[in-house]
Amino acid sequence: MARARVFVGLKETLGRLARSGPIPVFAVTAADAINAVRDLGLRREVEIVATPRHASVLLVAGRFGEGPIAGLSQIHDQLPLPRLTVRWNGEVLAEIPQARLVAGDVVELVDRLLALDAEILAGALASESPLLPDVDAVEWRGVGPYGHGGSGMTGGTPFGRPLADRAPDRDGLELDQLPVSVGPWVGALPAGLELHVKLQGDLIQGVEVGPKVAVMAPVDAFVRALDVPTPVKLLEVERARHHLRWLADVLVVHGLSALGLWALRLAHDLSPSDRSEVERLLSAVRKSGVIKLVVGRIRGGVVSPGVVGTGPIGRAAGSGDDARLDDQSYQELQFQPVIGETGDTAARWNQRMAEVVQSLDLAARAEERTAFGSGCVEGPRGLIVSKQPPASASLLEVLPTLLTGLEWGDAVSVVWSLDLDAFATSVVLLPSGTET
């Protein structure tokens, strides 16, 4: 009894201490909530983590298509106890009906998270029990001569799974090729992207894109500008903000989380007057060596203008295509697109970083000019034409060729440098009333 009391007291003290630190959150994010989750990452009360094993809270954010979300129940069960699920700005989840519903902005979410977390740390709220049934996926117990499911040297399903098979390799060795499904919810890849990768060692020998998660189409300033002429200033600030947010993501993936947080913070309330601060950030990014020494050393990852001729990816490869050139307001501003040459990973980094500065410059000079509104817009990822899927949707088709032969870390760098959007990673459902 006395021992039990000591433990209870200890748990209370630990709980009180733990409350003053950030809540580790693993986020499963739909396309329309990606920016909201990024803003959540700016809050000190919360830390977005890369694996469910480090998280206390599973956050399911944004609107998905009907039916279960791929991998969600599995991830829920991979969170250590005490765990809690929060559903943010979306419908009740079919697989986790007990998830706490929160509607509203980041401030409201953080308040609710803090309250729930305090309760669960104090033991007032029970941790969620596992969702999936406690049964083996494959029958293996008691099977085979040793009762572990295996047979012979490499056969059978020891402990429930088979061993990988051999495959020939470019250097003549025939060693194991391990098929792995990575994603759809892993910090190392963009949200929703599921890749079926064949790994031999740390090298990728084959890539297939897995089934896509259904999400609701995000609506941003560029989509609205398809129908309504929109101030150039607003569009260009949005474009700069988009690229800064992309930069924040890729910086975190390359181990520069502090610089990533700075980029997010700048993007959060960006205005044309922030140009000097943005240039300081970009200079810090260049000095970090990430472009010259890291992504610049990747062999491969080149996207030619023939594959994607539009947007920063196309321009990084030397395509001069830019819908802004045809717009009168931009012509008045003497807009000339930044054009790269090589079309490799480093070129895409340089392209977007140059375009951030250019956009802020345009925004500062734009005055009251408006642009677009006639069914076609130069978005941050390239040309958007109303009622057509954007060009970025075709990026996924080239992914297998781009990634095959790369080391895993290089492949992750290349994937992130493409700035894949929901049209590439997911099945996009348009709001009812609109056609595809």
List 66, 134, 269, 435, residue binding other proteins (CB under 8 A)? 134
Whichever of 267 and 391 has its CB closer to other proteins, that residue is 267
For 245-280, the three-class secondary structure string (H helix, E strand, C coil) is HHHHHHHHHCCCHHHHHHHHHHHHCCCHHHHHHHHH
Q: Which amino acid is at 325?
A: L
List 97, 166, 328, 386, residue binding other proteins (CB under 8 A)? 166
Whichever of 112 and 148 has its CB closer to other proteins, that residue is 148
Residues 96-125 that bind other proteins (CB under 8 A): 121
Residues 209-228 that bind other proteins (CB under 8 A): 210
In the complex, minimum distance from the CB of residue 267 to other proteins, in angstroms, rounded to a whole number: 12
Positive/negative CA dihedral, 84, 88, 94, 100? positive
- Sequence-distant (6+) residues with CB within 8 A of 23 are 45, 46, 47, 56, 57, 113, 114, 117
Residues 75-94 that bind other proteins (CB under 8 A): 75, 77-78, 80-82
Q: Which residue has the tokens 């250590």?
A: 80
Residues 327-386 that bind other proteins (CB under 8 A): none
Residues 135-164 that bind other proteins (CB under 8 A): 135-137, 146, 148, 150-156, 158-164
Q: What is the DSSP letter of 291?
A: I
Residue 174's CB: how many other CB atoms inside 10 A? 10
d(CA 59, CA 28): 6
List 294, 317, 391, 422, residue binding other proteins (CB under 8 A)? 294
Whichever of 103 and 126 has its CB closer to other proteins, that residue is 126
In the complex, minimum distance from the CB of residue 105 to other proteins, in angstroms, rounded to a whole number: 20
List 30, 60, 70, 317, residue binding other proteins (CB under 8 A)? 70
Positive/negative CA dihedral, 270, 274, 275, 280? negative
In the complex, minimum distance from the CB of residue 190 to other proteins, in angstroms, rounded to a whole number: 11
Residues 401-430 that bind other proteins (CB under 8 A): 407-410, 412-413
List 9, 68, 74, 139, residue binding other proteins (CB under 8 A)? 74
Residues 255-284 that bind other proteins (CB under 8 A): 255-262, 265, 284
- Sequence-distant (6+) residues with CB within 8 A of 207 are 195, 196, 197, 198, 399, 400, 403, 404
**Rg of the Cα atoms in the chain:** 24
Cβ atoms of residues 116 and 84 within 8 Å: yes
In the complex, minimum distance from the CB of residue 46 to other proteins, in angstroms, rounded to a whole number: 13
Whichever of 233 and 241 has its CB closer to other proteins, that residue is 241
In the complex, minimum distance from the CB of residue 330 to other proteins, in angstroms, rounded to a whole number: 32
Residues 173-192 that bind other proteins (CB under 8 A): 173, 175-176, 178-189
Residue count, binding to other proteins (CB under 8 A): 112
Residues 298-327 that bind other proteins (CB under 8 A): 298
Phi and psi angles of residue 266, each rounded to the nearest 5 degrees, phi first = -65, -45
Cβ atoms of residues 391 and 383 within 8 Å: yes
d(CA 224, CA 243): 19
Residues 37-66 that bind other proteins (CB under 8 A): 44, 49-54, 56
